[in-house]
């Protein structure tokens, strides 16, 4: 990895240059009191001092809704798959969301590679930036604070200057558009200090190591925490729909009004919605909200750890902020670490 520095005052012209060069540049912009990723028409629109966007930047790799096939109905049936993509830059991505994209890359290249995702991913440049946690961030409990891969370049604010970690060929290309100098040991030391200082800012923390949760979960299938959360859960689905590492979807065929042709559409779906595990025969495999909360938790902290050795929660805090009844995985994890199920017995 190459490390360089640029002057902070040049950041704006850097973004402006990208907007000129790439068909699409996305970045964080204000929406009400919140922030969303949106297309940048002007470098000044970007709001880099944010904590979390409503939806994660994943939406540019796997949109909320996309047509994956166009078809004609009989008598002359025809079907053609659809993959839409263009060269795009996502700027201002935080370490938690960079990690989430890394996890999605793994999933989308597994047993059944996802063409639509992978084509878009291949045409995407990711520019990360460092951040300051709020009371809902808990990345420090589930991942390394130092972001070492999953991006093309990563920017750390050092005050008047910005440290630029350049990781990939694509990264080298974008950064060549602006004047930078090699970073000195003083710059690198400053980055280390910032990371040390950041560690102390987290108020939401796990009481045990996240990597041990698969073991901790053993014998806790019937722990009271699931039913407690199930009683509160409204099954509104917000937690899974805002999650940067969730990738479930539903597929429907939408006929044009002529009834002669149509689109096959996929749309985000998720396991906390009551109908998610409802099957054709009329059964629901996870009828109880508590069973659904338990399933989601295991997806984040057990199943994927067993199969991919990676925790599938990045601690971004989105599910917590959006849950109308404040269900959060920090509280659940800490109850799991306490092994309430056994204490009770």
Partner 1 sequence: MSKPRIAFFDFSCCEGCQLQVLNCEDELLDLLALVDIVQFREAMTEADWNFDIAFVEGSITREQDEPRLKKIREAAKLVIAIGACSGMAGINAIRNAMPVDKAKEIVYGNKKDAFESTFARPIDTVIKVDGYIPGCPIDRKDFLRTVQALLVGKKPPDHDYPVCQECRLRENECLLTVGIPCMGPITRGGCDAIEPTFGSPCIGCRGLVSEANIESCKQMLEKHGLTIEDISKYMTIFNSFQKEEKHA
Q: Which of 128, 315, 335, 336 binds ligand SF4 (CB under 6 A)?
A: 315
Given the complex with ligand SF4, which of 128 and 262 has the nearer CB atom?
A: 128
Work out whether 243 is an interface residue with ligand SF4 (CB under 6 A): yes
Work out whether 235 is an interface residue with ligand SF4 (CB under 6 A): yes
Q: Which of 24, 188, 274, 277 binds partner 1 (CB under 8 A)?
A: 274
User: Residue 158 in contact with residue 131, Cβ under 8 Å?
Assistant: no
Point out which residues pair with 156 in neighbouring strands: 163
Stretch that binds ligand SF4, among 23-31, 105-113, 219-227, 322-330 (CB under 6 A): 322-330
Cis ω for the linkage preceding 75 (within 30 of 0): yes
Q: State in angstroms the smallest separation of the CB of 14 from ligand SF4.
A: 21
Rounded CA gap, 97 and 229, in Å?
A: 26
Work out whether 34 is an interface residue with partner 1 (CB under 8 A): yes
User: Residue 251 in contact with residue 341, Cβ under 8 Å?
Assistant: no
Stretch that binds ligand SF4, among 63-71, 116-124, 325-333, 336-344 (CB under 6 A): 325-333
Work out whether 28 is an interface residue with ligand SF4 (CB under 6 A): no
Q: State in angstroms the smallest separation of the CB of 113 from ligand SF4.
A: 23
With CB under 5 to 8 Å by kind, the binding choice for 89 among partner 1, ligand SF4, none is none
Q: How many residues bind partner 1 (CB under 8 A)?
A: 34
Q: State in angstroms the smallest separation of the CB of 268 from partner 1.
A: 6
H, E, C per residue of the chain: CEEEEEEHHHHHHHHHHHHHHCCEEEEEEEECCEEEEEECCCHHHCCCCCCCCCCCHHHHCCCCEEEEEEEECCCCCEEEECCCCCCEEEEEECHHHHHHHHHHHHHHCCCCCCHHHHHHHHCEEEEEECCCCCCCCCHHHHCCCCCCCCCCEEEEECCCEEEEEECCHHHHHHHCCCCCEECCHHHHHHHHHHHHHHHCCCCCCCCCCHHHHHHHCCCCCCCHHHHHHHHHCCCCCHHHHCCCCCCCEEEEEEECCCCCEEEEEEEECCCCCCCCCECCCCCECCCCHHHHHHHHHHHHHHHHHHHHCCCCCCCCCHHHHHCCCCCCHHHHHHHHHCCHHHHHC
Given the complex with partner 1, which of 37 and 154 has the nearer CB atom?
A: 37
Rounded CA gap, 121 and 87, in Å?
A: 9
Q: Which of 5, 107, 239, 305 binds ligand SF4 (CB under 6 A)?
A: 239
Work out whether 60 is an interface residue with partner 1 (CB under 8 A): no
Q: Which of 298, 304, 322, 335 binds partner 1 (CB under 8 A)?
A: 322
Tokens at 281, concatenated: 């025969």
Work out whether 329 is an interface residue with ligand SF4 (CB under 6 A): yes
With CB under 5 to 8 Å by kind, the binding choice for 52 among partner 1, ligand SF4, none is ligand SF4
With CB under 5 to 8 Å by kind, the binding choice for 54 among partner 1, ligand SF4, none is partner 1
Work out whether 93 is an interface residue with partner 1 (CB under 8 A): no
Work out whether 279 is an interface residue with partner 1 (CB under 8 A): no
Q: For binding to ligand SF4 (CB under 6 A), which residues are involved?
A: 51-52, 94-96, 131, 133, 137, 139, 233-239, 242-245, 272, 300, 313-319, 322-325, 327, 329
Q: For binding to partner 1 (CB under 8 A), which residues are involved?
A: 31-34, 36, 54-55, 59, 64-65, 231-238, 241-242, 255, 257-259, 267-268, 273-275, 289, 321-322, 324-325
């Amino acid at each position: 990895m190459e490390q360089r520095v640029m002057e902070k005052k040049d950041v704006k012209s850097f973004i402006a240059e990208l907007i000129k060069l790439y068909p699409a540049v996305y970045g964080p912009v204000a929406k009400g009191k919140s922030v969303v990723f949106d297309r940048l028409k002007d470098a000044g629109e970007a709001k880099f001092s944010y904590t979390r966007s409503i939806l994660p930047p994943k939406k540019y790799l796997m949109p909320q809704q996309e047509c994956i096939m166009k078809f004609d109905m009989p008598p002359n049936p025809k079907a053609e798959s659809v993959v839409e993509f263009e060269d795009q830059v996502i700027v201002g991505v935080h370490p938690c969301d960079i990690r989430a994209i890394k996890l999605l890359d793994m999933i989308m290249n597994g047993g059944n590679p996802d063409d639509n995702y992978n084509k878009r991913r291949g045409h995407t440049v990711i520019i990360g930036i460092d951040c300051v946690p709020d009371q809902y961030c808990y990345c420090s409990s589930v991942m390394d604070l130092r972001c070492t891969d999953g991006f093309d370049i990563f920017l750390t604010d050092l005050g008047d200057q910005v440290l630029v970690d350049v990781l990939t060929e694509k990264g080298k290309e974008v950064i060549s558009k602006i004047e930078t100098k090699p970073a000195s040991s003083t710059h690198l030391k400053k980055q280390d200090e910032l990371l040390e200082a950041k560690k102390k800012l987290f108020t939401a923390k796990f009481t045990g190591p996240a990597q041990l949760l698969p073991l901790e979960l053993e014998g806790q299938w019937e722990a009271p925490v699931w039913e407690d959360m199930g009683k509160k859960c409204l099954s509104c689905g917000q937690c899974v729909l805002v999650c940067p590492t969730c990738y479930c979807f539903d597929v429907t065929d939408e006929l044009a009004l002529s009834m002669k042709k149509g689109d096959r559409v996929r749309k985000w779906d998720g396991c906390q919605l009551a109908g998610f595990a409802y099957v054709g025969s009329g059964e629901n495999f996870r009828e109880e909200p508590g069973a659904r909360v338990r399933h989601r938790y295991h997806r984040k902290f057990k199943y994927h750890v067993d199969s991919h050795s990676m925790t599938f929660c990045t601690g971004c805090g989105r599910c917590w902020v959006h849950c109308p009844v404040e269900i959060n995985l920090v509280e659940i994890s800490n109850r799991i670490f306490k092994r309430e199920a056994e204490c009770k017995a």
